Amino acid sequence: MKRPPFDPTFAQGGLFDQPAPKPDNAKTPSKPLAQPVDQSLDHCEQVPRPLQVSEAAQLVGEQVAALGKLSVEGEVSDYRGPNKSGHVYFSIKDARCVLACVVWKSKASSIKMSLLNGVQVVVDGRFNYWDEGGKLSFIVDSIRATGQGDLDAKFRLLCAQLKELGYFDESRKRALPMLPGGIAIVTSASGAALQDCLAVAASKFPSVAITVVDVVVQGASAPAAVASAIHAVDLAARGMGIDVILVTRGGGSREDLDAFNHRLIADAVFNSGTPIVAAIGHESDTSVIELVADVRASTPTAAMNHILPDRGELRQQLDFLSASLRQSLTQFCQDKSRALAQVASRPCLRDPSQLLLLPRTKLAHFTREFPAKMLARVERARRTMLELSSRLESASPTATLGRCQAKSQATRQRLDMSMTQLLARSLRHTQAMHAQLQAVGPLGTLARGYSITRTSDGKLLRSVANAKPGHVIQTILADGEVQSRIEKGG
């Protein structure tokens, strides 16, 4: 290819004179002054000036910021939780790409759902380009689970239907008994909610009988399982001494708690003859079962505190009632004594001849009924005090511990006896088997007069055909061995 002729007007660096300026009215071609050109000796074409890294990063940041607020759906991955500064870092992905996300500390407290790897979510926020590190991330303002809109719509529709049927009416809800004899807890036996309930019961009122009904509290099978458990416990409540049913579970995502927004559970709670307390999720969570239940509690711990009385308060009430009873009896006796003194001080009683002037029937009735009434009232008070004292004594930790120790001791004695008998039977069986083995074993056979003969190479001599003259054989007897040489074969 032939090189084009040199044109000094394209030269750079001031080695040649520049062309003279043209008049103002002269038309000049428009060229971007901000981007000088580089003239190659081989090609006469203009190349734009390369951008600096900071200029390119600024350009990318401006383009990313121009996208504004967006909603992105994906699967949570690489969730690391809050760091020391309180910021939350994770990623969302689909089949092809991964997007890094960050939730600043100011927004992290407003996120109610549980972020776990594999959860499908929709994040609302905006893109941010960190020019110093050259990283693109998504700044999250809010997070919601995929399909949350459908869950909300279903929840509102069911609430409207149940409200129309009177499921939420406060007039139909029953008060809890002041002192429940038994409580049935319908929950997952492996969940933390059950442990919280048992801890409160042990510290606040350990004498109450608790029945745990293990059910599935999450997933497609949970509504039918919980409804069946409520129905079964309600039918057996009178025979089992159950006064309150507690349905509870710990916190979770909206999808985890959606099992308790089901018509089956609402019907079971509404038709139950036993008072029901519901504590589902955290305080901010609201489910249909909580709206239908007789009492709603914010947490499992709060539910048990609401159901159970306080031992200290009961003791104070007993002391107050006992003091009031003693004061009433004292006042009653004083009133009756004053009445008798007034009767005795009347003029008609000073003269025995005038005693007949008193209304005999009234005096006889008063004289006859007063001691009997006093004795009956004192007896009722005594029985009440004995009953309360007995109940308090049986509910004390010392009595409960004594019963448990006695039961444990009896169980241990039965276990020791069973193990002794089992070992004796095993020993007798082992001895019998040993005797049988001794009888049919090789040593027993040899003791009865038999012997075993082997050739020099250790093989058994089973036939005279294998006994050749001159061979050395070994004979094993009961008390030793004999080595011999064959003189004559069979």
188 in Cβ contact with 300 (< 8 Å):
no
What's the pTM? 0.43
Could you tell me which of 217, 228, 370, 208 has the C-alpha nearest to residue 279? 217
List Cα–Cα distances, 53 to 35, 50, 146, in angstroms. 16, 9, 39
Residue whose entry in the numeric block shows the structure tokens 């969302």: 92
CATH topology of domain 150-309: Rossmann fold (3.40.50)
pLDDT above 60 for 132: yes
Q: What is the per-residue pLDDT across 413-456, written as a single tens digit (0 to 9) for each? A: 889 898 999 999 999 999 989 888 887 778 778 888 888 888 88
32 in Cβ contact with 47 (< 8 Å):
no
244: pLDDT confidence band, cut at 50, 70 and 90?
very high
Sign of CA dihedral 196, 200, 206, 208: negative
The burial of 306, by beta-carbon neighbours within 10 Å (0-12 exposed, 13-18 middle, 19 or more buried), is given as middle
pLDDT above 80 for 350: no
Q: What is the per-residue pLDDT across 144-196, written as a single tens digit (0 to 9) for each? A: 877 665 677 678 888 888 998 999 999 999 989 888 889 999 999 988 899 99
Could you tell me which of 268, 272, 200, 264 has the C-alpha nearest to residue 234? 272
Q: Please state, rounded to an integer, the average pLDDT across all residues of the chain.
A: 81
Integer Cα distance of 254 and 113 in angstroms:
7
Per domain, the residue ranges of the chain are 54-135, 150-309, 310-365, 447-485
Rounded to the nearest 10 degrees, the angle between the axes of helix 311-344 and helix 360-394 is: 160
CATH topology of domain 54-135: OB fold (Dihydrolipoamide Acetyltransferase, E2P) (2.40.50)
SS3 content of the chain, % helix, strand, coil (to 5): 45, 20, 35
Residue 292, number of CB atoms within 10 A of its CB: 24
Could you tell me which of 224, 320, 307 has the C-alpha nearest to residue 264? 224
Q: What is the per-residue pLDDT across 190-230, written as a single tens digit (0 to 9) for each? A: 888 999 999 998 888 888 899 999 999 988 889 999 999 99
Higher-pLDDT residue of 170, 33: 170
Give residue 5's pLDDT: 57
Least confident of 63-77, 277-291, 397-411, 426-440: 397-411
Fill in the DSSP letter of residue 9. G
Could you tell me which of 468, 446, 449 has the C-alpha nearest to residue 457? 468
Specify which of 21-25, 118-122, 347-351 reaches the highest per-range mean pLDDT: 118-122
Topology alike, domains 54-135 and 150-309: no
For residue 186, the cross-strand partners are 213, 247
